[in-house]
Each structure stands twice: as structure tokens, then as C-alpha cells.
A and B are shown apart, each in its own frame.
Chain A
Amino acid sequence: MTANVVPALEVRNITKQFPGVLANDHISFTLLPGEIHAFLGENGAGKSTLMNILYGLYDPDEGEILINGKLAKIKNPADAIGLGLGMVHQEYALVDTLTVTENIILGTELRKGPVLNAKEASQRVRELSEQYGLAVPPDAIVGDLPVGVQQRVEILKALYRNVNMLILDEPTAVLTPQEADDLFRVMRELADKGKALIFITHKLREVREVADRITVLRRGKVVGDADPKTASEGQLAALMVGRDVVLKVDKTAANPGDVVLKVRNLNLRDDRGLTVLDDVSIDVHAGEVLGIAGVQGNGQTELVEAITGLQALPSGSIELLGKDITNRPPRSITEQGVAYIPEDRKGTGLVLGYSIRDNLVLSTYYKPPFTKGLTFNDPAIDEHAKELIATFDVRTPSATTTAGSLSGGNQQKIIVAREFTRENRLLIASQPTRGIDVGSIEFIHNQIIKQRDAGLAVLLVSAELDEVLALADRVAVMYHGKIVGILPIAEATRERVGLLMAGIQEQANV
């Protein structure tokens, strides 16, 4: 790239202070036309804040933004779009009940007076989708489309507004590996046509695959630039976290024992009559981790909730150590030795308004030593809290701090501490490391393996394929409520699991 190219976007010294956090600390960077610029950073590193400032959703406290060399004032998303800057959010801004075309034209409608010019609009959408190789059905209802296609609609929505810069915020989070590859192809095509792209992610592999340039953020600061061709994943991870990280989980081969959890023929439909669980049967043995891979929303949540007693089942059976626990109340299931890390940490895992000490006895408060007759035994609860905070390295000012005021990683540690200190036979971990810092991830991964080695049966559900592959001894893949394959870890390659995640069974089995 020559020096006289005017950057499509130049950011100078952007600073944003939130109560208690300096989210962006004098961040500067440039974005050139035709390049894919990746922003790498952990959750909470300030990536999303920065992008929301660019897109006009937040006001920066300091700093300036230049677009095509000219100072720009961006007060709201409409300004950003007007200046040629589009954004595809992690959660799509699509109206499920409208058609693809309606979603794309919303806000800048083609019209004849007050009346929509539906025909021409759908024609424009068709043209755009051909021009950039983004196949979408213009007249389909968006809610009926798979996530990958919805994402293309989001991208088209930006292109329809003639943007020349596009921010993609964690675009691969909900995609299968194959869908992600397809997205990368589209990104490359957009870049080749002169669009400038910002690609936000925390997945190292993807960055090296698609980016032209990498900027790493940590705690609101730019900590380094890297060239994807030369930087290794280890180097990038170290930059992201600020120290060397072991990317692989250290574990020995599993030593499976008897069947602990036996799930047979679970079937379930949702309110609309759509199949959520389709004849699901699995076994989990003592001393092994069964990982369940799959794109989010393919029945994993309901499966876990069925096993823990949170979801009533019309048919099928669940046995724990030979004892039927189907449709038993959650407390009874817990008492039979089931530890549960729920996927929704804030909603299901903790009572955010309660103190850490109270959260730590949520599943045992009604038993001695925590109760004495009708009242709580406060000294015992305090002692218990003190012990667990130390053992599980929960970073908190005190045991009486509310759970809601802690960081995600520390919240997750409270749940782990509470669940792992009972007498357990089965551990169910659902998205155990979603949205937490790398340090905590490492800690929780090691704890899970420790539980396995202590002879527990572990059922791990995660939307992060890398996490499943790192921890599991066997990998089951869910697609549309069905277990479409169970592979021993040695045979579970990214490609094979990826195809299964997309519901393509035949090829995966070759």
C-alpha cells in the first residue's frame, strides 16, 4: 500500500470512560480501502465500545474520527450510515416478521409517494446479492431463514446503503465452520471491490485466516499490531492476555467407568409445535467428558434443562446411576449428585442481588451445618464462603459483595465453587466459559478435567467448537434437536464435526 492512499477511516485518541472502567484509552488506528482489519481482544477489552463509538451509539469523551480525511461528527447510526459506515452487530438488527427485502430497505425505502415500490426494491436486492455473491431469497420471511443467511441479509442491508466501510462484530459466533468459511469468502470479495472491513473477534484462527492487518486490544488500549502472515497464534494470544497462555488443556486419556447418565429417546416440541428434541439418546460414563457440539439453538439448552429437571418432558427417560430421574423436581436431582453450570450465568446460575456468601449456599442452605432449627447458622455460612473464595480464587473485596457487581469470570467461579463442593456423580457444564476472560477460562477448564479425573461423568455443552475439542473425550453433535453423530475425540476433526454441525451427515461419515 502506498503512502498517499487516503485512509477510509482514521481514528485518533478515542477515549471513553464508563463508571469504574476506562473502556477505551487513547485508541488510534487507520483503515485503508480494500483491507480487512481485524481487532483482536478478550471480552471486555473495549472492542465493542470502540465500534459503538464509530457507529454513533456512544459519544467518545475525547478523540476524533476522520472519514476519507475529513473530520466526522457521528451522533447516531443514521449519521454513520450517511458517512458510508455500516455495521453488522453480533445480535442481528433484523425484524423477524418482515421479508428479506423489507428488512433491507427499511428506513431508506424505495417509494412512489407514500407507497412502497415493492417490485423495484426486490429487484435491487436481487442485483446486489448477485453483485457480491451473497445469495438470499428476497421475498422470504427473515425469521424462517438460517442464521448464516440472516447474516448475509445484514451485510446486504449495509451494502444497500452504499457503505464503503463495514464493521463485523464477532460475525462467526453463531456460524458453523463452513458458514464461517463462506463468510470469509464474501469478506474477501467485498475487500477486492474496494470496501474496507473491520473484523472483530477473539478467535485467533479466524484472524490469521482472513485479516490483512491485526490490531490487538487489551484493557481498552492498543497493545500491538501484527501481521497475520508472520504472527503465531501463541504470540497473538500472549498479546491479547498480556502473558503466555497455554492454549491446550493438559489432560491424560480418559479412563471411562460405568454408565452414570443414561438418556433415552427424549422428544420435545416447542409452543409452535416445532421439534426441539428429536429422539435424543446418550450415555455418559464415569471418568469421561462427553462434549456436545452444535450451533446454538439446536436443542442443547433443552437437553440440559431436561436432565436437570427444569424442562418437563412428554416422552423419553433419563436415568442417573440406574435410577429414573425423568421429570423429577430439580432439587431431588441435585441431591442425587448432579452439579450444574448453567449457560445463563446471570439468570439461572446466580441471584445477582444476593451476596457471594448467600449464592454459595443456594443449593445447600436448607441443610446442616447451614441451618440450625428454623434459622441460618451464619458463622458456618461465613466460614464456608471464606473457604471457597480462597480455594477458587474469586477476586472480590468481601464475601458480602453482591454477585452482580463481579466480573463474568468471577461470577462463574462462584458457580463452580458452589457446584463442585457437593458430593457429585455427574457434572453438567453448559457454555461454562462464555464471555469470560482467558485466565478464568483456563482455571475452569482445569477444574472440569479435575472433576473428570476424580471419577465424575461430565456432560459439556458448548457452542465453541474449540472448547469441546479441547476438553471432550467423545464428541456428540446436535443438529435440529437430533444427535447426528458421536465421535471419539481422535476422530473428531474440525472439518468432520463442522459438517455434522451443519447437518451434513453422509459426507462427514465417509
Chain B
Amino acid sequence: MKFTRARGVGLLGIFIAIVLLFAVNNSLGNKITETSKIQSIWDFTSTIRIPDSAKMKEDPKAPPVAAIELPTMVTISLICGALILVGGVLIAKNPERGWVAPYMSSVIGFGFFSILLWAVANNSVDLSDTLSRVVRLGTPIAIGALAGIVCERSGVVNIGIEGMMLTAACFGYAAAAISARMIYGESLPENVVKGVVWLPLIIGIFGAILTGGMMAALHAWLSIRFKVDQVISGTVINIMAVGITGFTRTNFLLKFESPLRAGLPQMPLGPLADIPLIGPILFDHKPITYLMILMVIGLNFFLFRTVWGLRTRAIGEHPKAADTVGINVNRMRYRNVIIGGMIAGVAGAWFSLEGSFGFDDGMTNGQGFISLAAMIFGKWNPIGAFGGSLLFSSADALQLKVQAYNFDLPSQFMQMLPYVVTLIVLAGVIGRAKPPAASGKVYEK
């Protein structure tokens, strides 16, 4: 029997699952022992509750009502058992492709879940709230990854996503603030103060998209017209973004009085939002999060089912072949890089109009780079990149959640978690990802 990556990952998965099985069960048991005098470590009384959001919404003050209640030990044991079983299948069957990434993601995801349970032992934790946060925090990462895919699939490396997002966040916010002032004056009229002021916010989103597109146009111009090394050009974008936004903030945004007080609102999707577990995770979000999901599905369709997608994939892989059948490679690259920048602009809008309201220096906080990691994780496929984004954002959500519970691990270590996960994933657990062959290469006839 040969040692292959699939088998290695299977083995690793089994090992982690066994460790979790004993570590989590054991420590849960110990904690419970201290407080409630239950002697057995195999405690069957602790439960994982999935709240019934519909009922809880009717009366927010009543004690939480559970729609589904699962015994903790049994659930963990079953999940660990399943992971061990699948790991065994991996070792026995040695599948060529398609198994490793989903399996490793499940192991890591379950690992996070276990750490969470461990941290909150004996307290109640709202699982759907945590998972909903994963989707929320994953939104800018996923959108950034889509931006990267559009660029790199056409053969242009875009390391400047971070900078495009940051600039878009800054000018998106500025556009919203200024347009609100122009429309409403010093303060919002009485009748709209409570409601949502859609118009300036939408102008803000478009401002962000436009800004992203302009930054990307600069990247395209430098790397296609002047054949600047694409990594250098992207770095220029990133450094420039810090300067431009810092200047704009101190010299303008801080002094500007805008009547706008709140960003994009929560928009639960009617009855869909009341489905237990699924509802809060998928159907109770702000607009850009929904947009992200549509964009993932949309880009997947465009990339693999349309003429544009076929040509994009061709010029990123073998531009000369595309050229000989009459496709204008550089024009398409310009177009794709700019579209990518506009997509990154949407992610920028998330930071200053949806995730929080307002602009701070460096508020994108490296998420643009994590986007690129998610893109690589997903092997330049939209759906895969979306999965990668959720993986990274769940590390982020976990550290936020765990910190809230006075967990006895220094918070700095927990904050490192998303980046450590990124590092491990990129170091090859998922396998070597092969970028589009012509990515990063200038096309000359």
C-alpha cells in the first residue's frame, strides 16, 4: 500500500477525530464535575440546543426555546465516529481527487466546533448565532476571492485585492456620507430617522464599486500596458491604498458632518428566516451577504457555462491559443481585471457600510490577503473559494466567540487562529493547487 496524500489526510483526520473525542468529552466531563457534581465523564445530560428563532422572536424576553435538542456526548461521539469512518475509507480506497478538501474541511470545522463547546462548557451557546456569524464574516473574504478568480483566471495575478477593498471601503463610505448630506442637509428629517435611508447607502455601494474598478484599471494599465511585474503592481496598489485612505480620512472624513447614522440594515427573508438552524444562518442577513451568495452562484455559472467564461479560462491558461482563434487577449484581460476590481469594491462596501458603519484606517485588516488564500484553497473555483472563505471566517468567528467566555487561553493565541489555519491549509494539507498556467505572465505576440 503506497502512502499518498489522500491516505495521509485520512490518517490525520482519524487522529484528530480521536483526540477530539477524548479531549472534548473528557474536559467537558471535568468541568461539569466541578460545578454540578456529576461523577461520570460520559455525561449524557449536557445538550446542544438549536434555538427556535421563530418562537424566540415572538417574545424576546422569554427564556430560550429549543427547537432541536441534542445530547452533547452522543452527538460528538457520532460525528467523531463518522469522521473516523470516512478517514478509513480514504485510507482504503485512496481516491484520486475530490475527497481530500471536503474531508479536511469537515475535520477542521468540527475541530472548531469542539473548541467552542469546550470553551463554553456549562454555559449555553447559541449555535445558529455562531454559524450565522461565520457566514457574515465570510462575506468580504468570499467576495474578495471571487474578485481574485475573475482576475487570475484571465492570467493576471491580483495581489492588490486588499488595497482595492480598502480604497473602496473609504470612498464608498465617503460617497454615502456626502450624498446623504446633499440630499438631506445637516440632519435627517423626522420621518426617515427611524427608517433606513436607502438612497445614500446605494450610492455608497456604487461609489465603492467604482473605486474598486478604478484601482483595478490602474493595476491593469501597469501590468498589461507597461508590463510591470504583476506582483509589484499589486503591491503598489496596496501601499497606495493605505496612503490615499489615510489622507482622505484625516483631512476629510473626520471633519465631515454627515446626517447618516447607520449602515445597511438587517433583512430577514420572511418565513425562510424562521426555519430552525438554517434560517438564521442563511436567511437573516444584511444585503451584501445575500449578494455574495448570488455572486458565488452567478460567477460559477458565468465561468463554466458562458462564452465569456470559456474565453477567460482560455486566456489564463494558454493566451496564444486564444489569440490564434481571434480572441483579443489583452482587451479581455483589461476587462476582467476591472470587473475583478469592481467585485473587490463590493467587498470594500461591506466593511464600511455593512459590517460596521464608518471608515477606519486599515479596516480591511488583511482580509484581502485571506481572500487570495481562500481562492487558492478553492483551486480558483467560485464554490471552492466560498468554502475556503467559510473555513477562514469560522476560525475568526470562533476566536471572537471564545474570547467572550473567559476561556483560559491568551486571547492573542485565539486571534492568531484564522491566520494559523490559513497557513496550515496553504502549506499543502489540501494538496498542491495549480494556478492558471499563464497567470502572472505578460502576453506578447
Contacts and interface: CB of A to CB of B under 8 A. Distances in A.
Interface in A108-134: 108-109, 111, 114-116, 118
Interface string B305-323: 1111111011001101111
Given A109-B307, A114-B308, A98 B317 contact: yes
B324 A98 contact: no
Interface in B286-309: 305-309
Interface in A70-91: 76-78, 81, 87, 89
Nearest to B320: A93
B326 interface: yes
A196 B321 CA distance: 23
Contacts of B326: 76-78, 81, 107-108
A57 B445 CA distance: 8
A114 B306 contact: yes
Nearest to A108: B325
Interface in A95-113: 95-98, 102-103, 105-109, 111
Contact of A97 (B4, B5, B317): B317
Interface of A: 57, 76-78, 81, 87, 89, 92-98, 102-103, 105-109, 111, 114-116, 118, 157, 161, 271, 273
B410 to A, nearest CB: 39
Contacts of B306: 114-116
Nearest to B445: A57
Contact of B325 (A77, A96, A114): A77
Given A95-B321, A116-B306, 20 more contacts: A76-B326, A77-B326, A81-B325, A89-B324, A93-B324, A94-B321, A95-B314, A95-B318, A96-B317, A96-B437, A97-B313, A97-B437, A105-B310, A106-B314, A106-B321, A106-B325, A107-B311, A107-B322, A115-B306, A161-B325
Across the A-B interface, the 6 shortest Cβ-Cβ residue pairs? A107-B325, A78-B326, A93-B321, A77-B324, A95-B318, A95-B317
A98 B314 contact: yes
B225 interface: no
10 contacts: A81-B325, A92-B321, A93-B320, A94-B321, A97-B436, A98-B313, A102-B314, A106-B325, A106-B327, A107-B326
Contacts of B322: 95, 106-107
A87 B322 CA distance: 14
A93 B445 CA distance: 13
B317 A106 contact: no
A108 to B, nearest CB: 7
B336 to A, nearest CB: 15
A103 B325 CA distance: 10
Interface string B233-258: 00000000000000000000000000
B305 A93 contact: no
B310 A109 contact: yes
A77 B323 CA distance: 8
Contacts of B314: 95, 98, 102, 106
Contacts of B57: none
Contacts of A118: 305
Interface in B1-37: 4-5
Contacts of B305: 115-116, 118
Nearest to A269: B2
Contacts of A96: 317-318, 437
Nearest to B323: A77
A98 B305 CA distance: 12
A106 B309 CA distance: 11
Contacts of A107: 311, 322, 325-327
Contacts of A103: 321
Nearest to A114: B306
A106 B432 contact: no
Contacts of A89: 324
Contacts of A273: 4-5
A95 B313 contact: yes
A106 B310 contact: yes
Interface of B: 4-5, 305-311, 313-314, 317-318, 320-327, 432, 436-437, 445
A114 B307 contact: yes
A157 B324 CA distance: 11
Contacts of A271: 432
Contacts of B318: 93-96
Nearest to B325: A107
A77 B321 CA distance: 11
A271 B306 CA distance: 32
Counting chain A CB atoms within 10 Å of each CB, which of B317, B323, B324, B326 scores highest? B324
A109 B313 CA distance: 14
B154 to A, nearest CB: 13
Contacts of B327: 106-107
Contacts of A87: 324
A157 B307 CA distance: 17
A102 B310 contact: yes
A354 B116 CA distance: 63
Nearest to B308: A114
A111 B321 contact: no
Contacts of A105: 310
Contacts of A114: 306-308
B437 to A, nearest CB: 7
Nearest to A104: B325
A155 to B, nearest CB: 14
Contact of A98 (B307, B310, B320, B432): B310
Nearest to A55: B324
Given A77-B323, A96-B437, A106-B327, A111 B307 contact: yes
A233 B317 CA distance: 42
Contacts of B321: 92-95, 103, 106
Contacts of A108: 325-326
Nearest to B2: A273
A94 B318 CA distance: 7
Counting chain A CB atoms within 10 Å of each CB, which of B5, B313, B432, B436 scores highest? B313
A57 B310 CA distance: 24
Nearest to B302: A114
Nearest to B324: A77
A116 B307 contact: yes
A77 B445 CA distance: 12
A116 B325 contact: no
A116 B317 contact: no
Contacts of A92: 321
Contacts of A97: 313, 317, 436-437
A97 B327 CA distance: 18
B116 to A, nearest CB: 36
B398 to A, nearest CB: 34
Contacts of B325: 77-78, 81, 93, 106-108, 157, 161
Nearest to A271: B432
A87 B432 CA distance: 36
B7 to A, nearest CB: 12
Contacts of A109: 307, 310
A444 to B, nearest CB: 32
Contacts of B311: 106-107
A378 B206 CA distance: 69
A346 to B, nearest CB: 19
A96 B309 CA distance: 16
Counting chain B CB atoms within 10 Å of each CB, which of A95, A97, A115, A271 scores highest? A95
A57 B309 CA distance: 26
A194 to B, nearest CB: 23
Counting chain B CB atoms within 10 Å of each CB, which of A87, A89, A107, A116 scores highest? A107
A399 to B, nearest CB: 34
Counting chain A CB atoms within 10 Å of each CB, which of B5, B309, B318, B323 scores highest? B318
A108 B326 CA distance: 9
Contacts of B437: 96-97
A118 B304 CA distance: 10
Contacts of A102: 310, 314
A108 B325 CA distance: 8
Contacts of B4: 273
Contacts of A116: 305-307, 309-310
A115 B309 CA distance: 9
